[in-house]
Chains A and B, each alone.
Chain A
Amino acid sequence: MENTSLTLLGRLQRGSDSEAWGRVFGLYRPLLMAWLRKYDVQAADADDLSQEVLLAVSTGLKSFDHNGRPGAFRTWLRNILVNRLRNFWRTRDRRPLSTGDSDIERRLAQLEDSASATSQLWDRQHDLFVVQQLLHLSRARFSAETWTAFTRVALDGESPAAVAREMGLSLNAVFIAKSRVLSQLRQEASGLVEGAGDSSAIS
């Protein structure tokens, strides 16, 4: 493994413009599309708007200062989203069909407020979404046996002893599988997801 940043965020930040764009795009577009739809943006516009948000993210990535705060990235992304949404409704002379202007403004203010229930929902969904994507992306890096052992023990909460017996593995192999996959996921998620932790040593 390269002796460089193993975190997804680090790789995003180090990538070239087009690479960073491709990665951010693939990773975050579905999440943004879902949230844009929560704010009454029609599918066709949501497409453009999500590109705008992600373009702002990919250009700002290099100068983005994480500053060690957990959740800094998702907060930054949320703020970009709020700004673009506000801009969208103000400048395009469009009004949501189902709800009034003031309603949108009120809901955007909630999304902007870090303490609101909406923001907490954003945080939770963001983290859930990122780890889901990471699970998907990481799967190919492990053998099927490792992955199955990891899934059954870490995700499904099965007893390592039972998993070892049923899969015909030694007990230590099951622990190693769990440890290795979790370690990889933590490294990837570090800086993007709260609680992934510092990937160096015990914390």
Chain B
Amino acid sequence: MPTLLQHPSLVELTAFSGGQLSPDEAATVETHIEECGTCCETLLNLSSDDTFVGLLRQTRNAEELSEPWTDEEAIPPSLANHPRYHVIGLIARGGMGDVFQAEHRSMGRTVAIKVINKKLVRDQEVVERFQREVQTAARLSHVNIVRAYDAEQIEDIHILVMEYVDGLSLSAMVKECGPLPITAACDYARQAAVGLQYAHEQGIVHRDIKPHNLMLTSGTVKILDFGLASLTSGTGGERSHEDLGDASLTAAGSVIGTPDFISPEQAQDAHRADIRSDIYSLGATLYYLLSGRAPFSTGSVAERLRSHAETAPPAVRDLRPEVPPELSDVIARMLMKDPKQRFQTPQQVATALAPFAVQAQPVAAPAPSRDGGRRGPLRGTLTWASAALGLLLATVIYVQTDKGTLKIESADDSVKINITQEPDGTGGSQLTATFIDTVTGSEAKRLPSGEYQVDLGDMKNDFEVDQDSFTLRRGKTVVVKVTRIDAQAAQAAINTQPAPSSKALEKMPLPDHAQQTLMMQGGRLSEEAAKALQIKADADPADVESRLQLLGYYWQKTIFTPAVREPHLKLVCWVIENYPESKAAAVPESEVNAGIDPKSYGIVRALWLKTIKDHPTNTTILGNAAKFFLLSERDLSEELLKKAQTIDPQNPLWAQDLGQLYQLSSNHPLSEAQGREFAEKALEQFELALKLKGASNVNYYELGYLAKAAFHAGADDKAKDYAEQLIKTGDQGEGVHHGNMILGRLALRAGDAEAAGKFLLLAGRSTGSPSLGSFGPNMSLAKELLQKGHKDVVLEYLTLCGKFWKNPKLGQWTATIQAGGVPDFGGNLSH
């Protein structure tokens, strides 16, 4: 991989400064300016402000924005000043009121806050009933129910604080994707039934079950708005159909109060609604999920309500023939007019739907089936509070304790584990693990003291405890298994000491490309995911994958976040200590910048020197260390490469690397003579590499290095030879451009401006390349020709360049040249 650093052009630096480069191009410049003080100087004097930056600056002018731009009406002032919640922004508006995303000021927990539409709570009686019902609903804690935390009145507004769910309603799913696959629809309805059963057991009825109120997040369905139906279902007594339709529609707009999913008895009298009304609504919902329409979806509100009471809807099978008759029957039974003829409990519905819900395939991309079991990377929420952590468990984690290492495994991510560590008063600490099955709400605690103390509470789960393991069951399913790893294995597991140097080197278990992929993936990790991965890595010293990902993650942040420098340093040391021969030890991720973080650099430097001392004849290690020292200590890097070359003289790699090192030096020489000297050394090494490799194996960019080094070293004949070979490689983009450029400059050096002009035009006939497309053509020969008065050929060259480089600079240069000037070609002179 060529690490050759060339100055970016002025155009490119300007674009970089203004954030106008593609990520790849920007990364190249970022790497470059880390080393190049000259370009930093240039950047300092550049003005990259365009209209967009001007626009951004205007936002600093508070006056201009004070009036219309803050929508004070959107966030009610009493909510904006809420003592416990910081409102982040509006998520959605609904008939019942606006929903805001907010964060608990001290806990940091993200919540959704629903501000109840004032029109719904004008009546004191309604307010009281609403508060009563929501407080009841707030006791519900179930995986299939959106958790309500709190309902309160602040000044004149009523708010409901709920669990924040990042997902999509089933209503939106159907609108987006059309009717759902049968297994998915049945699984979602089954999950909703499980949630309703739980609520039913607590004596709570929802009264407004509909697709809009079922949220899907990562394959889990969560019922929204428990307790809110009290706001729209009237204050009691008989209400006519027209009244109800009218009241709910005016009060709440078209979003809620839809009569499409309401049971006949509830339409007649809200007070008659019991759990069987929810079953009817769930039946209508499932009907909709499968057919894309509600059972009665035409006619006025009154007509539809009448149909609910009097007419049997068309069978689902008539609308969707592949629905099995048994399923069609289940839905018909849920939709019976007489509550007594329906299923009597949601549990019965869940059981009846289960056979159709197996192997549900996810409809939304990140929605794996609950029944399929989830493995793979650690996922779930991770919260840190002092020395406590809690996470949903869907994989294997290791926990270190004073009594050995615990291995905790579960394929069910509805199990939450909380681990807290507290001082025990004797200088040690006591670790407590609590397991919560969020499906049943049951909880188990365990102290790793050698004896298991399990608080069974009133849970229905079964436990099995033996000497070294502990199992939590839900029905027949094992949801958590904890085993204690034997003392020796545990000791090995927590042994994070570096391997003794006398030990034979271990081979990195992953191939090079896998190492690089992992580090790249790591760069994209979220903070939470990285924390989870760090815990996993800390518990398992054999976990190379996690460590490489973390290396990528921390490295990405080292420039801006000093806090990550320490964990990054540890991982760099881990790589060098354990796998000094690996690819991972030779990539930028394992570099530490001497300028940004000199202390860490010193540590890694010492480690590399020690590693070299321990393995003095290992050329791979010498080469990897040379890469580390290339930017900050080039002399040392050179020494190491030369040593490798002495040990392994037939390998062209060392010559190639040395050549690049010298070329890098020749780019920033202290004097012309020094530049020439480095160019000569570079040429010598590149030629040696060419000889060792065999001329037939050489590729175009190596020829490019050779031609350029020869040109700068003043070896004109060689430069001509390599440039001609470069053109002959058949690379129509780079080869043609750079080869002819060298030939043209050689011609001009020899005093033949006419020939130089011809080569310039040949260079312009390049078909372009990704590199030429972004950095643009080389303008050095054009400039030399202009200075000698050859205007026309340069203008023609610019026209040719326009075919592979779209840039307004070309037009500006053309205009300047036509007016008799010589443009400042900036960085286009050098590459």
Q: What is the 8 Å Cβ interface bit string for chain B, positions 727-768, against chain A (1 contact, 0 not)?
A: 000000000000000000000000000000000000000000
Beta-carbon contacts under 8 Å, B6-64 to A: 11-12, 15-23, 25-26, 29-30, 33-34, 40, 43-44, 50-60, 64
Docked complex Cα distance between A195 and B50 (Å): 8
Contact of B69 among A30, A160, A182 (CB under 8 A): A30
Would you call B60 and A186 a contact (CB within 8 A)?
A: no
Docked complex Cα distance between A142 and B29 (Å): 20
- The interface stretch among B154-162, B168-176, B312-320, B334-342 is B168-176
Q: Please name all residues of chain B whose beta carbon is closer than 8 Å to the beta carbon of A172 when the two chains form the complex.
A: 30, 33-34, 40
B497 an interface residue at 8 Å Cβ cutoff? no
Q: Please name all residues of chain A whose beta carbon is closer than 8 Å to the beta carbon of B25 when the two chains form the complex.
A: 201-202
Docked complex Cα distance between A184 and B19 (Å): 8
Docked complex Cα distance between A143 and B561 (Å): 7
- The residue of chain B having its C-beta at the shortest distance from the C-beta of A173 within the complex is B559
Docked complex Cα distance between A21 and B89 (Å): 14
A1 an interface residue at 8 Å Cβ cutoff? yes
Number of interface residues of B (CB under 8 A): 63
- The interface stretch among A11-19, A77-85, A94-102, A106-114 is A11-19
Would you call A29 and B59 a contact (CB within 8 A)?
A: no
Docked complex Cα distance between A128 and B52 (Å): 10
Docked complex Cα distance between A127 and B59 (Å): 10
Docked complex Cα distance between A131 and B59 (Å): 8
Contact of B20 among A25, A51, A142, A203 (CB under 8 A): A203
If A181-B19, A183-B26, A197-B52 touch, does A17 touch B172 (CB 8 Å cutoff)?
yes
Contact of A201 among B22, B89, B596 (CB under 8 A): B22
Q: Please name all residues of chain B whose beta carbon is closer than 8 Å to the beta carbon of A7 when the two chains form the complex.
A: none
A39 an interface residue at 8 Å Cβ cutoff? no
Docked complex Cα distance between A199 and B92 (Å): 30
A175 an interface residue at 8 Å Cβ cutoff? yes
B560 an interface residue at 8 Å Cβ cutoff? yes
Would you call B92 and A22 a contact (CB within 8 A)?
A: yes
Give chain B nearest CB distance to A60 CB in angstroms: 16
Q: Please name all residues of chain A whose beta carbon is closer than 8 Å to the beta carbon of B17 when the two chains form the complex.
A: 175, 178-179
Give chain B nearest CB distance to A158 CB in angstroms: 12
A154 an interface residue at 8 Å Cβ cutoff? yes
Q: Please name all residues of chain B whose beta carbon is closer than 8 Å to the beta carbon of A115 when the two chains form the complex.
A: none
If A18-B168, A145-B561, A178-B19 touch, does A154 touch B53 (CB 8 Å cutoff)?
yes
Q: Please name all residues of chain A whose beta carbon is closer than 8 Å to the beta carbon of B169 when the two chains form the complex.
A: 18
Q: Please name all residues of chain B whose beta carbon is closer than 8 Å to the beta carbon of A177 when the two chains form the complex.
A: 560
Number of A-B contacts (CB under 8 A): 171
Give chain A nearest CB distance to B742 CB in angstroms: 25
Docked complex Cα distance between A199 and B52 (Å): 13
B802 an interface residue at 8 Å Cβ cutoff? no
Q: Please name all residues of chain A whose beta carbon is closer than 8 Å to the beta carbon of B631 when the two chains form the complex.
A: none
Q: Please name all residues of chain A whose beta carbon is closer than 8 Å to the beta carbon of B22 when the two chains form the complex.
A: 199-201
Contact of B40 among A21, A30, A175 (CB under 8 A): A175
Q: Please name all residues of chain A whose beta carbon is closer than 8 Å to the beta carbon of B58 when the two chains form the complex.
A: 128
Docked complex Cα distance between A187 and B516 (Å): 27
Q: What is the 8 Å Cβ interface bit string for chain B, positions 50-82, against chain A (1 contact, 0 not)?
A: 111111111110001101111101100000000
Q: What is the 8 Å Cβ interface bit string for chain A, positions 138-171, against chain B (1 contact, 0 not)?
A: 0000110110000000111101110000000011
Contact of B60 among A31, A125, A156, A203 (CB under 8 A): A156
If A135-B56, A194-B51 touch, does A25 touch B90 (CB 8 Å cutoff)?
yes
- The residue of chain A having its C-beta at the shortest distance from the C-beta of B563 within the complex is A143
Give chain A nearest CB distance to B361 CB in angstroms: 19
Would you call B55 and A127 a contact (CB within 8 A)?
A: yes
B773 an interface residue at 8 Å Cβ cutoff? yes
Beta-carbon contacts under 8 Å, B634-692 to A: none
A189 an interface residue at 8 Å Cβ cutoff? yes
Q: What is the 8 Å Cβ interface bit string for chain B, positions 431-474, against chain A (1 contact, 0 not)?
A: 00000000000000000000000000000000000000000000
A88 an interface residue at 8 Å Cβ cutoff? no
B610 an interface residue at 8 Å Cβ cutoff? no
Docked complex Cα distance between A61 and B54 (Å): 28
Beta-carbon contacts under 8 Å, B322-379 to A: none
Contact of A186 among B20, B43, B90 (CB under 8 A): B20
Q: Please name all residues of chain B whose beta carbon is closer than 8 Å to the beta carbon of A181 when the two chains form the complex.
A: 19
Contact of B774 among A127, A159, A201 (CB under 8 A): A201
B475 an interface residue at 8 Å Cβ cutoff? no
Would you call B56 and A131 a contact (CB within 8 A)?
A: yes
Docked complex Cα distance between A175 and B16 (Å): 9
Would you call A170 and B596 a contact (CB within 8 A)?
A: yes
If A26-B89, A155-B56, A160-B43 touch, does A16 touch B172 (CB 8 Å cutoff)?
yes
Docked complex Cα distance between A33 and B34 (Å): 47
Docked complex Cα distance between A33 and B69 (Å): 9
Q: Please name all residues of chain B whose beta carbon is closer than 8 Å to the beta carbon of A89 when the two chains form the complex.
A: none
Give chain A nearest CB distance to B25 CB in angstroms: 7
- The residue of chain B having its C-beta at the shortest distance from the C-beta of A149 within the complex is B560
A193 an interface residue at 8 Å Cβ cutoff? yes
- The residue of chain A having its C-beta at the shortest distance from the C-beta of B177 within the complex is A16
Would you call B52 and A30 a contact (CB within 8 A)?
A: no
Would you call B64 and A128 a contact (CB within 8 A)?
A: yes
Docked complex Cα distance between A71 and B58 (Å): 18
Q: Please name all residues of chain B whose beta carbon is closer than 8 Å to the beta carbon of A117 when the two chains form the complex.
A: none
Would you call B774 and A202 a contact (CB within 8 A)?
A: yes
If A19-B168, A29-B71, A171-B40 touch, does A182 touch B19 (CB 8 Å cutoff)?
yes
Q: Please name all residues of chain A whose beta carbon is closer than 8 Å to the beta carbon of B23 when the two chains form the complex.
A: 1, 183
Docked complex Cα distance between A171 and B559 (Å): 11
- The residue of chain A having its C-beta at the shortest distance from the C-beta of B70 within the complex is A30
Q: Please name all residues of chain A whose beta carbon is closer than 8 Å to the beta carbon of B596 when the two chains form the complex.
A: 170, 173
If A25-B93, A181-B19, A201-B773 touch, does A176 touch B56 (CB 8 Å cutoff)?
no
Would you call B52 and A193 a contact (CB within 8 A)?
A: yes
- The residue of chain B having its C-beta at the shortest distance from the C-beta of A2 within the complex is B524
Would you call A131 and B55 a contact (CB within 8 A)?
A: yes
* Residues of A in contact with B (beta carbons under 8 Å apart): 1, 16-19, 21-22, 25-26, 29-31, 33-35, 37, 43, 47, 51, 125, 127-129, 131-132, 135, 142-143, 145-146, 154-157, 159-161, 170-173, 175-186, 189, 193-197, 199-203
17 A-B residue pairings within 8 Å (CB atoms): A16-B172, A33-B71, A34-B67, A43-B73, A131-B52, A172-B30, A175-B33, A182-B19, A182-B20, A182-B53, A183-B19, A185-B56, A186-B20, A200-B22, A201-B15, A202-B11, A203-B807
The 5 A-B pairs of least Cβ separation, nearest first, read A182-B19, A34-B68, A30-B71, A183-B19, A195-B51
